[in-house]
């Protein structure tokens, strides 16, 4: 099964994709994570993407579609969760081509419907383990022992550079202008399922499970 998680910054795409990867043997393909890895490694792609990401704008369609193609090839045919991709009409069309070339198809586009004002709080409170990447939140998901990662015991945490209010507003404007308009492309194919992204993490997960299990 191949699915897209679609929603604005902070809607919970990464949270739900990680859970699906852990529970269903699917692979999370996050273009945001791939680009951050490229920036950290100082690759040519990373050098091009760094300033664009810090402004909250979109990296070029060609770069992100090439990254997705490479990861599809290295993921060995496992079901894919597209997290943060596609974000433009050109990317949506590129994804159709990438899947068709590999004899695969999209099963669902899951739209996480959210209230944008609440998202600023979600994003600016987010942090993650510097060692294993497990995600936390100042209000919604603290480590069980304060200052110690639940998953690996590390005591070092990091916050994303683009998680400040000004950049978040630009990221949301980009979403409204370029990403939301691709929904009809999938609606006309009957692929879109909407979930309430303002519910708790577990409730959102249950809604997604119901869709993937064919109950909705
Ligand atoms: P990317 O990394 O994709 O960021 P984003 O889309 O802005 O999404 P986020 O990671 O901020 O949010 P999320 O929906 O994953 O939420 P999360 O689960 O973390 O992209 C970053 C940048 O890279 C872009 O701005 C762009 O420059 C570039 N880029 C990436 N892909 C691109 C593409 N395809 N084309 C062009 N450029 C691209 O949740 C947020 C917080 O809320 C967490 O702390 C979490 O614990 C908490 N939370 C989650 N769910 C809930 C809930 N239900 N209730 C309460 N709290 C919750």
Cβ atoms 155, 161 nearer than 8 A? no
Annotated catalytic residue 193:
no
pLDDT at 92 over 80: yes
> Cα separation of 188 and 39, whole Å?
37
Distance 17 CA to ligand 1 centre (A): 11
> Cα separation of 85 and 14, whole Å?
11
Annotated catalytic residue 13:
yes
Query: Which of 11, 14, 112, 200 has most ligand 1 atoms within 8 Å of CB, for mutation?
Result: 14
For 21-30, 113-122, 150-159, which range has the lowest pLDDT when averaged over its residues? Answer: 113-122
Ligand 1 pocket (Cβ < 6 Å) reads 7, 9-15, 31-32, 35, 52-53, 56-59, 64, 84-85, 87, 91, 122-123, 126, 135, 137, 140-141, 162, 171, 200-201, 204
194: CB partners within 8 A, 6+ apart: 110, 111, 113
pLDDT at 216 over 90: no
Please state the φ and ψ torsions of residue 139, each to the nearest 5 degrees.
Answer: -105, -45
User: What is the rounded average pLDDT of the residues 148-162?
Assistant: 96
Cβ atoms 130, 154 nearer than 8 A? yes
The whole model's pTM is what?
0.93
- If you ran DSSP here, which 8-state letter would residue 181 be given? G
Query: Mean pLDDT of all residues in the chain?
Result: 95
| Per-residue pLDDT, 75 | 86
36-57 confidence digits (pLDDT tens): 999 999 999 999 999 999 999 9
17-36 burial: b if 16+ Cβ within 10 Å, else e: bbbbbeeeebbbbbbbbbbb
Partners of 108 in beta bridges = 3
Percent of the chain with pLDDT over 90: 90
């Amino acid at each position: 099964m191949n699915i897209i998680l679609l929603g604005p910054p902070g809607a919970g795409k990464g949270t739900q994709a990680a859970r699906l990867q852990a529970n269903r043997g699917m692979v999370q393909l996050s273009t945001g994570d791939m680009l951050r890895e490229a920036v950290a490694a100082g690759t040519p792609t990373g050098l091009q993407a760094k300033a664009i990401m810090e402004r909250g704008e979109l990296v070029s369609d060609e770069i992100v579609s090439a990254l997705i193609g490479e990861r599809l090839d290295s993921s060995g045919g496992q079901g894919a969760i597209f997290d943060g991709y596609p974000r433009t009409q050109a990317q949506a069309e590129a994804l159709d081509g990438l899947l068709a070339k590999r004899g695969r198809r999209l099963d669902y586009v899951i739209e996480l419907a959210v209230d944008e004002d609440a998202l600023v709080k979600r994003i600016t409170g987010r942090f993650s383990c510097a060692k294993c990447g497990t995600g936390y939140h100042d209000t919604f998901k603290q480590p069980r022992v304060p200052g110690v990662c639940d998953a690996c015991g590390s005591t070092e945490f990091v916050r994303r550079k683009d998680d400040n209010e000004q950049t978040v507003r630009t990221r949301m404007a980009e979403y409204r202008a370029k990403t939301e308009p691709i929904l009809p492309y999938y609606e006309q194919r009957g692929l879109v399922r909407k979930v309430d992204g303002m519910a708790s993490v577990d409730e959102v997960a249950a809604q997604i499970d119901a869709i993937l299990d064919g109950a909705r």
